[in-house]
Amino acid sequence: MRLAGKVALITGGASGFGAEIARRFVGEGASVVILDLNGEGALKVASEIGNARGLRGDVTLRADVDEAVQFTVKTFGRLDIAVNNAGWTHRNKPLLEVTEQEFDRIYAINVKSIFHMVHAVAPLMSRQGGGSVINIGSTAGIRPRPGLTWYNASKGAVNLGSKSLAVELAPLKIKVNCVAPVMGETGLLEAFMGLADTPENRAKFIATIPLGRLARPADVANACVYLASDEAEFLTGIVLPVDGGRTV
């Protein structure tokens, strides 16, 4: 029970990495609120994993993020861990074909959401004596793939922003770390590849990962459990690649 007594708010937790992070957190003793635009999905995951609540909300809207933080504190009494997992990408295509609407959505979901969350949780965590923020970045912000330029840039902002946040929030005893997965087995896989999800197309991308497979939700969840636990109490500003060697 590595997270016993801790309370976490996880965005984008209705599916993929976020759902598994929520599941593992509850399994390790945490109380969890899942925030997702897919409110029905958030409620479903929460009902399946035990000590959790689901909530519909848009991470690009400050009012929705504030409401989620207030709901978490009202429900469980405090907030120790915020996991900024919600993310989106345009389909893999030449950069000049990406529309302004797609660009704006990428930055609103991947980057601005973290701005909103930090503003919402930092004063609260400071009053509690500290806390942990975990951002889900990407190897795309370390070793970018072609066809995803604006997504790559947004994740570069998440990776580097996590380091800067760590330095600024350290005096408040708030740790900020980042998990950077390689392409994963989630609903966004086809968009990342820009191809149909067939065994042949997967093989082309798996060939670039030394350990020979895509990231799985459990891989990301395991990293988040560690960074959220007291075992990582002296770690902040870390960008942890969960990538099977892709960024080596």
* Helix boundaries (H) for the chain: 16-27, 39-49, 62-76, 100-107, 113-128, 149-169, 189-193, 199-206, 217-228
Among candidate residues 54, 151, 175, 179, the one labeled active-site is 151
Q: Determine whether 226 is an active site residue.
A: no
Maximal C-alpha separation, the chain: 52
The structure tokens listed for 62 are 């400050």
Hey, which residues does 215 pair with through a beta bridge? Answer: 184
Annotate 132-156 with b (16+ C-beta within 10 A) or e (fewer). Answer: bbbbbbbbbbbbbbebbbbbbbbbb
Contacts of 94 (CB under 8 A, 6+ apart): 147
What is the amino acid identity at position 43?
A: L
List active site positions.
151
